[in-house]
Amino acid sequence: MSTATPPSSPAPRPAGRPRSQEADTAILTAALDLLIEHGAVQTSIEQVARRAGVTRATVYRRFADKTALLVRALEWANHDDDPGFTGWPDVEHMFDDWAAHLAVPRNRRLLRRVNGSVDDYPELITTYRHVNGGRREKVVRETLCRAREHGQLPPDVDVDVVQEMLSGAVLGHLNGHPDDEDAERIKAYFLALLKQVGYRP
């Protein structure tokens, strides 16, 4: 999970062919906007091209199909290819990151759309996880393992179970808490849950 907020919708584009980087940004932004507004099934390459102010051919030169486009848009939004991200030093920093991300309503809507695609467009999550290689899940587990090693979690705690619990907690917060809840309260929510399995800062 990243704290970065995807950019807002671009202004209407002037006539003419955009430069390559401009086209990339416009296409990815349009894909995210449409995914949030309509969901994966109802989003199409044609809609993305129209919203981005480019031709369908411009989109297809970059992406083989809609799934590839949406997966790349999610990677872009989450900064998954950021070489500077190597994980969090501790649980507190991890929850700071999660809370800051979940405090942005747009991020919450995007996460709900992605998780809601499990039934009607399962290839989105399946492909995203395959391409992403579970990098975020890996660094979450590493953070929990360090907390156990440092005595912040009980020595016999199953970090895989704790990780599953926290993943469920994210979904629970998305579906059961208001979108305008601030980061401080969101972090407190995660800390309260983790303390139930013996976490001690």
Complete DSSP assignment for 82-114? -TT----SSHHHHHHHHHHHHTSHHHHHHHHHH
Exposure on the CB side of residue 131, measured as CA atoms within 13 A:
18
Q: What is the pLDDT of residue 19?
A: 57
Question: Which are the contacts of 94, defined by CB distance < 8 A and separation ≥ 6?
Answer: 88, 140, 143
Q: What is the pLDDT of residue 84?
A: 81
Residue-level pLDDT, tens digit, the chain, 201 residues: 544 444 444 444 444 444 589 999 999 999 999 999 999 999 999 999 999 999 999 999 999 999 999 999 999 998 887 878 888 999 999 999 999 999 999 999 999 999 999 999 999 999 998 888 678 889 999 999 999 999 999 999 999 999 999 999 999 999 999 999 999 999 999 999 999 999 999
Options 1.25.40.10, 3.40.710.10, 3.40.50.300, 1.10.10.60; CATH of 20-78? 1.10.10.60
Q: What is the pLDDT of residue 83?
A: 79
The CATH fold assigned to 91-195 is: Tetracycline Repressor; domain 2 (1.10.357)
Q: One-letter amino acid identity for 179?
A: D
The ranges assigned to domains in the chain are 20-78, 91-195
Let me know if 46 is exposed, middle or buried by CB neighbors in 10 A (0-12, 13-18, 19+).
Answer: exposed
Find out whether 190 and 171 touch, Cβ atoms under 8 Å.
Answer: no
Q: Would you give the DSSP letter of residue 154? A: -
Q: What is the pLDDT of residue 6?
A: 42
**Residues 80-108 as b or e (16 or more Cβ within 10 Å = b):** beeeeeeebeebeebbbbbbbbbbbebbb
Q: What's the pTM value of the predicted model, to 2 decimals?
A: 0.84
